């Protein structure tokens, strides 16, 4: 029998499959079903910074200011009363879920500011969360905002939250940094216990019939696994933080790949939303079967064995791979 156990953020997990933030965690019963299906931990549905501002009755000012010039602004922003759980309900849900399941529960905050909203990190801790994930989702549109200033705001945010909580802290990042390894190292240096790679920026679409900008949710595919695979392979063993792979995890093979490059856990959502929660059980079975066939005794033995520092050709994760991929297609061209 292979040993599927792993550790993430100092938490002992029975296996490396974690349910990332999704509507599945909006109800206690949903999390119970995730536990029954075999997932080792669940990341709660995100509590958004805008909801906390809304609660303090300040949101109306920010929504209406400037809408004379940009008519779409107020209609594009969601009705936060119905969009997600409110702050107090969110904390109550964490408390109820912790009483109902045995697996670790990771709270999730989505925002960018370093203001008073970070006090909610402490409230999430007090509600019983085993860890906290900061989902930093920010699209810089200000021409005067430099990359240095933006990156410093990320570091300041993590530093401020770290001062509020004792529980482990992970940061969910996007891949859009000029020097991602340096950003990762900075975040680890101010208290991030883990990094989740990557956040998916949901791109708006155009309704050419109504001439409107509309939100458009497109779920991930296994093809998207390659980007986080590459960066986790590069970061493994170089920063003092656990690495979690998110985006593109749809089967046991995807979990295997994430472990081989150095991820402590694989996070999945899209597969469970489309195929049902029981799909997690089959994914774990696929992982276990692969390990047995390839004579791996434990997840620990696998982790990082194909990271950049472990493979025979480290350049395969760098520019040399780009050149090799392009030239590999030459023989397929028919003139």
In order of start, what are the domains of the chain with their CATH numbers? 6-332 (3.20.20.70)
* 47: nearest Cα among 163, 155, 127: 127
* Nearest-angstrom CA–CA distance, 133 and 186: 17
Q: What is the pLDDT of residue 75?
A: 42
CA distance 322 to 335: 24
pLDDT of residue 323: 61
- Distance (Å, whole) CA 47 – CA 215: 19
Report pLDDT for 36.
98
- Whole-number pLDDT of residue 115: 64
Tokens representing 163 are 């001062």
Q: What is the Cα 269 distance to its own chain's centre?
A: 10
Q: What is the pLDDT along the chain (335 residues), one digit of tens a residue?
A: 899 999 999 999 999 999 999 999 999 999 999 999 999 999 999 887 666 655 544 444 444 444 444 434 434 444 444 445 568 899 999 999 999 999 999 999 987 666 656 788 999 999 999 999 998 877 888 999 999 999 999 999 999 999 989 999 999 999 999 999 999 999 999 999 999 999 877 778 888 899 998 877 778 888 899 999 999 999 999 999 999 999 999 999 999 999 999 999 999 999 999 999 999 999 999 999 999 999 999 999 999 999 999 988 887 887 656 666 556 666 677 76
The pLDDT of residue 112: 67
Q: What is the pLDDT of residue 52?
A: 62
Output the pTM of the full model. 0.85
């Amino acid at each position: 029998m292979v040993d599927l156990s792993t550790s993430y953020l100092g938490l002992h997990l029975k296996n490396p499959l974690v349910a990332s933030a999704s509507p599945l965690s909006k109800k206690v019963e949903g999390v119970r079903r995730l536990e029954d299906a075999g997932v080792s931990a669940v990341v709660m549905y995100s509590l958004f910074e805008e909801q906390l501002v809304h609660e303090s009755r300040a949101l109306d000012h920010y929504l209406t200011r400037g809408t004379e010039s940009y008519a779409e602004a107020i209609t594009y922003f969601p009705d936060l009363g119905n969009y997600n759980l409110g702050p107090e309900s969110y904390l109550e849900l964490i408390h109820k879920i912790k009483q109902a399941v045995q697996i670790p529960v990771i709270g999730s905050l989505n925002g960018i500011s370093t203001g008073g909203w970070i006090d909610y990190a402490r409230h999430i801790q007090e509600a019983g969360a085993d860890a906290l994930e900061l989902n930093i989702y920010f699209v810089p549109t200000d021409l005067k905002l430099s990359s240095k200033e933006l990156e410093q705001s990320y570091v300041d945010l993590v530093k401020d939250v770290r001062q509020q909580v004792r529980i482990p802290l992970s940061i969910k990042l996007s891949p859009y940094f000029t020097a991602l390894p340096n950003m990762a190292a900075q975040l680890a240096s101010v208290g991030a216990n883990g990094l989740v790679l990557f956040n998916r920026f949901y791109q708006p679409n155009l309704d050419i019939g109504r001439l409107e900008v509309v939100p458009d949710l497109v779920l991930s595919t296994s093809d998207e696994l390659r980007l986080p695979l590459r960066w986790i392979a590069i970061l493994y063993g170089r920063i003092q933080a656990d690495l979690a792979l998110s985006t593109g995890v749809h089967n046991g093979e995807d979990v295997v790949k994430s472990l081989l490059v150095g991820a402590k856990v694989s996070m999945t959502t899209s597969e469970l939303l489309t195929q049902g929660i029981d799909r997690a059980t089959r994914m774990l079975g696929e992982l276990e079967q692969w390990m047995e066939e390839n004579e791996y005794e434990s997840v620990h033995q696998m982790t990082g064995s194909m990271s950049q520092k472990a493979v025979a050709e480290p350049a395969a994760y760098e520019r040399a791979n780009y050149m090799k991929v392009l030239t590999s297609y030459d023989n397929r061209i028919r003139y």
